[in-house]
């Protein structure tokens, strides 16, 4: 193809992809087509199909692409800082939308949205992190706080810090969340030990540990479901 033919091909291809989105929604899309849609925002005329396929070949999932570091992304031919910045903006928007589906909602009624939200935030992280969902006396989620960042296989979870956030927000119950970068969400003996300590500490203030959730690779465990916390 000469340059004119390439431009016509790219324009036609983009038009077909966008029309497909309008007519069928994203559910009918292949993952590489979703990545192409994101790339359309950055590249006005360039063929984005090959870049999209290279990104998925390297990072496997769209979540992994959005969570990749700038250094990792720029190893892909055609990816520069503008693309990296755009991906971070898209990632922030997606997380903000999911957060809006859980904040000020009853945790039992929106539990599936809670899991989607925390998986998006935590399942592809390289290091362990701890988040805290604060609930009022009606199990309404009033806040989501990232309280600790750790290493690839350890993060400190401190009852006194959890209590500080609970008391500051007048929380009546909490959901503790952390991730296992190994991908295996099975709780360690330390996970079980510190959960018991947190439950002991919060109960002194009549604050309930509603659940402790560990996020792995596209899976999670709930201490509540496993009867590892007192209900």
Mean pLDDT of the chain: 88
pLDDT at residue 2 greater than cutoff 70: no
Domain range enclosing 139: 106-222
- Whether residue 230 lies inside any domain: the answer is no
156 and 183 in a single domain? The answer is: yes
Q: Pairing between strand 208-215 and 220-222?
A: antiparallel
CA distance 224 to 208: 12
Identify the domain boundary among 97, 128, 148.
97
Amino acid 6: pLDDT: 44
The mean pLDDT value for 17-32 works out to: 81
> What DSSP assignment string belongs to 51-103?
HHHHHHHHHSSHHHHHHS-HHHHTTSTT--HHHHHHHHHHHHHHHHHHHHTTT
CA distance 147 to 149: 7
Count of domains forming the chain: 2
Identify the domain boundary among 97, 118, 144.
97
- Tens-digit pLDDT profile for residues 58-84: 999 898 899 888 999 999 999 999 999
Question: 195 vs 24, which has greater pLDDT?
Answer: 195
93 and 122 in a single domain? The answer is: no
54 and 155 in a single domain? The answer is: no
Split at pLDDT 50, 70, 90, the class of 11 is low
DSSP helix/strand/coil, 144: strand
pTM exceeds 0.95: no
């Amino acid at each position: 193809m000469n340059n004119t033919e390439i431009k016509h091909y790219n324009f036609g291809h983009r038009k077909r992809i966008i029309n497909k989105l309008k007519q069928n929604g994203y559910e009918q899309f292949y993952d590489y087509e979703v990545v192409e849609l994101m790339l359309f925002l950055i590249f006005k005329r360039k063929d984005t199909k090959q870049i999209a396929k290279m990104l998925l070949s390297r990072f496997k999932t769209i979540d992994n692409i959005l969570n990749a570091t700038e250094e990792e992304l720029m190893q892909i031919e055609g990816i520069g800082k503008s693309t990296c910045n755009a991906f971070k903006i898209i990632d922030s928007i997606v997380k903000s939308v999911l957060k809006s589906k859980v904040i000020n909602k009853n945790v039992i009624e929106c539990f599936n949205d809670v899991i989607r939200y925390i998986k998006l935030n935590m399942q592809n992280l390289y290091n362990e992190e701890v988040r805290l969902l604060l609930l009022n006396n009606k199990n309404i989620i009033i806040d989501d706080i990232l309280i600790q960042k750790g290493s690839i296989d350890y993060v400190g979870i401190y009852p006194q810090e959890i209590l500080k956030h609970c008391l500051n927000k007048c929380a009546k119950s909490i959901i503790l969340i952390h991730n296992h970068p190994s991908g295996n969400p099975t709780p360690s003996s330390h996970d079980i030990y510190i959960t018991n300590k947190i439950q002991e500490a919060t109960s002194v203030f009549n604050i309930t540990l509603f659940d402790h959730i560990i996020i792995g690779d596209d899976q999670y465990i709930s201490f509540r479901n496993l009867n590892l916390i007192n209900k």
